[in-house]
Each structure stands twice: as structure tokens, then as C-alpha cells.
Amino acid sequence: MNDENVNSEGVDSKSTSPEEASGDDLSRSSAPNKKETIVPEGDISDSTIEENSSYSDSAPERQESAKKDAQELPPRDPDKKRIENESLSMNSSSSPSVKKKKRSGTSYIVILLALIAVIGLSMVAIIYGLGFGGNIGTSEKIAIIYVQGTMLTGNVPAGLGYATSEEISENIHRSVADENVRAIVLRINSPGGSPAAAQEITVEIEKAQEQGIPVIVSMGDLAASAAYYISAPADYIFANPSTNTGSIGVIWTFENKSSFNEKEGIDYYISKSGEFKDMGGTWRGLTDEEKEYADSVVMDSYEEFVTQVAEGRNMSRSDVKKLADGRVYTGSRAKELGLVDDFGNLYDAIDKAAELGGIQGEPRVVYMNKARLSSLLLGSDSGDSSRETSQFVNYFEESPYGKILACIG
């Protein structure tokens, strides 16, 4: 009796040919949720044959179910399929490469031009914000020059409480050199200062007038003593009714610390070549001869002051001397006395400057020496700007010979 293995459904496994086995294998590979068993040839066990037989019987049913599922699925988008294929091909590549877009030369030029435009607009905003640009629309200019603080010779940055003759004179000179400037406005807020500084500024004012450039003064809170000295030769003077002006006169101050030195036990030995060489030293008071000499120096400066006012305001010297006893006048009183021409602010002075300068239409206003931020912040590193400023004016404020001033005491 031959030994035969029969499966549960009565099918003779030995009668299965190789061709039929291969067909069964193909059916199993296409069925969903397939289960694949790989064994070496020539070593197929009875259990393996039974398992394969069961899959072959169920394969037709599985194929029919897969066909139904495929029919129910919506058709695939060809473009989407193409993108997926490209994606698969890129992922399957062993060395993927990324293509970079190159910027054209035109884009770089556009970016460069945009940066230049931004920088240019920023510079214009800074220039006009600081007051250097003025109004656009005409080439005819009016130059505004500020005289703010105590007047003295020397080189001190603007905006620190001092108005130096070098800076004021330079700006007047620059204004005259500009062929488009038709008039100059001096905006004054000063208690006065050094007669020498006032004289230097006055020389430049007169030079401007000789070149046909009218000079107009706009007084603010204070324009007294040496500040009035430089105002007198102007073509027109505006003041506010409450402006303090006048104070026509000269003062020379001396300090005597001999009592303090004696109390502190401080003694000096002075070797000098002449009797007046240590005049003004704080270690002693003035002798009678020195006092008399000091009075004569003050009066010399005073006479020059009177002459300046008389010539500038078309007044006689005697009339000026009646007013020139050092007193301060309000703007209202100064107008009555003929020391100013009219009431008005800076813009009234600009209008008058345009009129006297023969400007038609709206003038272009340029500010020659408006205080700069860098000047105002000078000394900020140390936190004591007054100390930094004193370094510039030490020669004047700490003069061993006293101070000769055309200034409100």
C-alpha cells in the first residue's frame, strides 16, 4: 500500500504539478494581506504543502475582492502620479542634488539703487532736521546766524553757553561768500561779553554791508551791552516788548583775596619788572595809581562803544551818552529811545531781510550755526559738560588781570 498525504479537502498534494504550483504562487503574491513563505528547493515539508494548498483555494476569492476595491477607488490624477514618481526617483538616488536659483544681475542693481535712495533720503532728513537745508524752491537765500551766550574770542563749540567771535565772524564771512545769500539775520540771546569779541564781529558785519548784504538783528530774551554793540550797526533791529537790551557801558572787575590768604597763612613773593605788572593779582588790592589807570582803560572802551552806537543808530554822541549809563532797557523803552526799530520775532526779521535783500517770493532760509547734537553732548562721557566747557574758556574766566566786560554785571 502506497503512503499518500491527503489534505483536509481531499486533494492529493503529490499530484500537483510544478506548473500548477507556480500559478498558485502568483495568485498568492497578488492577493492583499499576503503571507509569503520562502523555503529552499527540495526541502518542502508536508505542512508547507498543506499551507500552500489552502492559499491556492482562497486566492480566487481574494483576487475578486481586490478587483472590486480597485473599481471603487477614484481615478488618480496624472499630474499627482508624475510628481510622486519624480519624488520616488529623487529619493532612490544615492546622491541627491539641490538646484539653487541664481540671482540675476538686475536684481542686485535694484537692491543697490534702493540702498542708495534710502541713504540719500536719510542724509536729506538729517541735514534739514539740523537746520542746514532751509526751504526748497528758490536759490535766493537768507542766512541765519545765532549769537547765544557770553561773547568772547577763542574757539568754543556752539551751544555751550558762549558765542565766540571766530565762529560768528566765520559764518558771516561764509554767508557773504555765497553768491545766493541776499541778507543775513543775527538771532541774538546774549548778556554781552568781551569788547574785543564784539569789535571783531562788528568788522565782519560792516564788510557784509559793503558787499551789499543787509544785516538784520532779531533780539530774543536778552541782547545787552556787547550784544547791543554788535546790534547797533545793523540795517534793522527787531526786539520783543519784554526783551532786555541796552546796558551801554564797560566794566572791569578785580578780585582781592588778601584777607583770605592772610587767614589761611598763604604768603606770596612777587618779583616784577614794572609797577603795574601784577595789577589785578588776587593776592592784593589795587593801589590808587592802578585804580586811576583802570578807570582810564574802561573809559577808552566806553568811548568806542558810544561812537559805535551813535554811528549805527544815526544819533549824536551826546544823545547816546544820556542813555549810556549802563542801565538795561526793555524792548518797549528801547523802541521809544530809538535803540531798536520795531517789535517782532525771528520770522518778522526774515521777512524784513527778504524785503531789504530784494528777494521775490518765498526765500530759502539757511541756518549757519544751529547747535549740533555733538556739541550739546560734549563732555557726556564724564557726565559733567560744564567742566569740559571750562577748559575752553579758562583763559577768560580765570584771567589773572581781571575781566574787562561790556556785559551785564
Q: Phi then psi for 286, rounded to 5 degrees?
A: -80, 145
> How many angstroms separate the CA atoms of 73 and 105, rounded?
51
Rounded to the nearest 10 degrees, the angle between the axes of helix 288-313 and helix 195-210 is 20
User: Which CA distances in Å does 366 have to 171, 184, 186, 207, 266?
Assistant: 11, 10, 12, 20, 55
The active-site residue, picked from 34, 67, 272, 277, is: 277
Residue whose C-alpha cell is 510622486: 84
Is 281 within 8 Å of 400 (Cβ atoms)? yes
> How many angstroms separate the CA atoms of 139 and 129, rounded?
19
**101 is an active site residue:** no
**30 is an active site residue:** no
- 250 Cβ contact partners less than 8 Å away, ≥ 6 residues apart: 195, 298, 299, 301, 302, 305, 404, 405, 406
**Ramachandran area for residue 79 (φ above 0: left; ψ -120 to 50: alpha; else beta):** alpha
> How many angstroms separate the CA atoms of 348 and 133, rounded?
20
The active-site residue, picked from 27, 169, 190, 225, is: 225
**Residue 284: CB atoms within 10 Å:** 16
Active site residues: 225, 277
